[in-house]
Structure 1
Amino acid sequence: MPYEAPTHTVERSLRATTGARIIAGVDEVGRGAWAGPVTVCAAVTGLRRAPAGLTDSKLINPKRRTELAGELAGWVTSYALGHSSPEEIDELGMTAALRLAAVRALEALPVRPDAVILDGKHDYLGGPWQVRTVIKGDQSCVSVAAASVIAKVRRDAMMAELGAASEEYAPFAFGANAGYPSPVHKAALAERGPTAHHRLSWSYLDGLPRWRHLKKVRVSAETAAMESGGQLGFDF
C-alpha cells in the first residue's frame, strides 16, 4: 500500500515556535490488548533523514518491522521505553496507565525533552510536559514513527517471551497475537480463564460465564468508554 513518508515538519514547527531543541516523539502499543502491558516509546531523532520505509508500525510487515527496529536503535539520538502492567491498568484505568508508561519512558531518556509530539488527538500526558498532539503522527512525524516501530517490536517480543516461558501460557498463543483478541486466545480464555497477565477490568470477561466473577470494577465512566472501544484490538 503506497504511503507518504513521515517528515520533520512538526519537529521543525516546534523548534520555530517554541524554541524547543530536544523533541521526543511518543507512541504506544498494547492499548487494545487483553493481556500484557501497555508500552510507550519516547524517541528523539533530531532532523536527520529517516531510514527507508519508516512509517506507522502497523503498515510494515513483521519481518521488515523487526529489521527496521534494529536500524532505528542505532539511528535515533536516544530512545526509552516505559510500561504499565495489567495490574496498573486495572487499578488506574487506561488513560492514567498510558500517562504512567509515557512518563516512565520520558524520564528514562538521557536528556529531558523540551517538547513532546504525542500520537493521536488526546493529550493523555499533560503538564509539566509541553505536548503537541498529532492525529496519525505515527505516519506523518519521523520521531513518532520511530517510536511506533520500536514500541511495537519490543512489546511483541516481550509477549512472545512470556508465551514461551511456561506451559501455562502456551495455549494463549501470545507469540502470535501479542495479547490481543484472536480465536485461539478467546478459546483458551473460555477454557482456562485469565492468567496473571490478563487485564481483569475489561469487558471480555462479561462473555465468559465461568470467569466473569473475576472481573474488577472499572475506575471511571471515561475509562470504560475508552476501553470498550479499544478492547476490539484495533492496532493488532
Structure 2
Amino acid sequence: MPYEPPTHSVERSLRATLGAKIVAGVDEVGRGAWAGPVTVCAAVTGLRRAPEGLTDSKLIPAPRRAPMAALLADWVTSYALGHASVEEVDTLGMTASLRLAAVRALEGLPERPDAVILDGKHDYLGGPWRVRTVIKGDQSCVAVAAASVIAKVHRDAAMAELGAEHPPFRFADNAGYPSPVHRAALEELGPTPHHRLSWSYLDALPRWRHLKKVRAPADPGEQLGFDF
C-alpha cells in the first residue's frame, strides 16, 4: 500500500516555536506483548533527508527491517535504547514502565534533547521534558520513524535469543506477543521467567492462574495484550 514518507515538519515546528535545536523522536515496542521487556528508542536525526523506505517499522516488510535498522544506526545523529523489565512492568504498570524506559533512552543520548516527539496521543513521559505527542508519528515524523525501526529490530533480536532458551514458545516468530503457538505453549508449560505475570492471559490458563500477580492496570487494555 502506498504511503507518504515521513517529514521533518514537526521538528521544524519545534525549532521555530521552542527554539529546540536538538529534537529526539521516541517510540516504543513491546507494550502489548505477553513476554519480554518494553523497549524504547530515542533517536536524533537533524534535518537530513531520510533514507528511502523509512516509515513505521510495522509497515516495513520483515526481511527489510534489519537492513534498515543497520542503515539508520549509522545515519542518525545519535540514538539510545531504554528498557523496562518484566519485573518492572509487573510492579509498576505499563505507563510507569514506559516512562522509565523512555527516560533511560533519553538519558543515554550524548546530548540532552531540547524537545521530544512522542508517538501516540498520550504523554507518558511528562516533565521536565518538553513533549509533543503526534498520533501516528512513527509514520509522519522522521525521527520517530527511525526510533520505531531501531527499537523493533533490537527487541525482536533479543526475543529471538530468549526463544532459543524456550523453543516451544517461538519467540523468534512472535516476539512475545499473543499467538496461537504462544498460547498453546503457555497452556502446556506455563509461563517462563520472561513472562509478565500481572496480565490477564493467565486468567484463561487454569493450571497456571495461581501464578498471577494482582495489580490494577494503569491503562485501559493494558492487560489485554493490545499494542497501542
TM-score, scaled relative to structure 1:
0.95
Partner of 1:41: 41
User: Offset of 1:162 from its aligned partner?
Assistant: 1.1
TM-score, scaled relative to structure 2:
0.98
Question: Secondary structure at 2:218's aligned position in 1?
Answer: helix
Does residue 1:77 correspond to 2:74, yes or no? no
Structure 2: which amino acid aligns with 1:186? R
Partner of 1:222: 218
Structure 1: which amino acid aligns with 2:86? P
User: Offset of 1:226 from its aligned partner?
Assistant: 3.7
User: Offset of 1:222 from its aligned partner?
Assistant: 3.3
Q: Tell me how far apart the structure 2 counterparts of residues 23 and 152 of structure 1 sit (CA, whole Å).
A: 21
List runs of 5+ in structure 2 lacking aligned partners: none
Partner of 2:194: 197
Question: Secondary structure at 2:121's aligned position in 1?
Answer: coil
Structure 2: which amino acid aligns with 1:173? R
Structure 1: which amino acid aligns with 2:98? L
Q: Tell me how far apart the structure 2 counterparts of residues 226 and 123 of structure 1 sit (CA, whole Å).
A: 17
* Runs ≥4 residues deviating over 4 A: none
Partner of 1:109: 109
CA RMSD of aligned residues (A): 1.0
Question: Secondary structure at 1:95's aligned position in 2?
Answer: helix
User: Offset of 1:65 from its aligned partner?
Assistant: 1.1
Partner of 1:163: 163
Partner of 1:188: 185
List runs of 5+ in structure 1 lacking aligned partners: none
Structure 1: which amino acid aligns with 2:203? D
Partner of 1:211: 208
User: Offset of 1:228 from its aligned partner?
Assistant: 3.6
Residues 121-159 of structure 1 show CA distances to partners (whole Å, capped at 9, x for unaligned) of 000000000000000000000000000000000000000
Question: Secondary structure at 1:42's aligned position in 2?
Answer: strand
Question: Secondary structure at 1:222's aligned position in 2?
Answer: coil
Does structure 1 conserve the Cα–Cα contact (< 8 Å) formed by 2:93 and 2:217? Answer: no
Structure 1: which amino acid aligns with 2:42? A
Aligned-residue sequence identity (percent) comes to 79
Count, aligned residues: 228
Structure 2: which amino acid aligns with 1:98? L
Q: Tell me how far apart the structure 2 counterparts of residues 69 and 90 of structure 1 sit (CA, whole Å).
A: 29
Structure 2: which amino acid aligns with 1:192? L
Which aligned pairs between 1:6-45 and structure 2 lie closer than 5 A? 6-45=6-45
Does structure 1 conserve the Cα–Cα contact (< 8 Å) formed by 2:160 and 2:175? Answer: yes
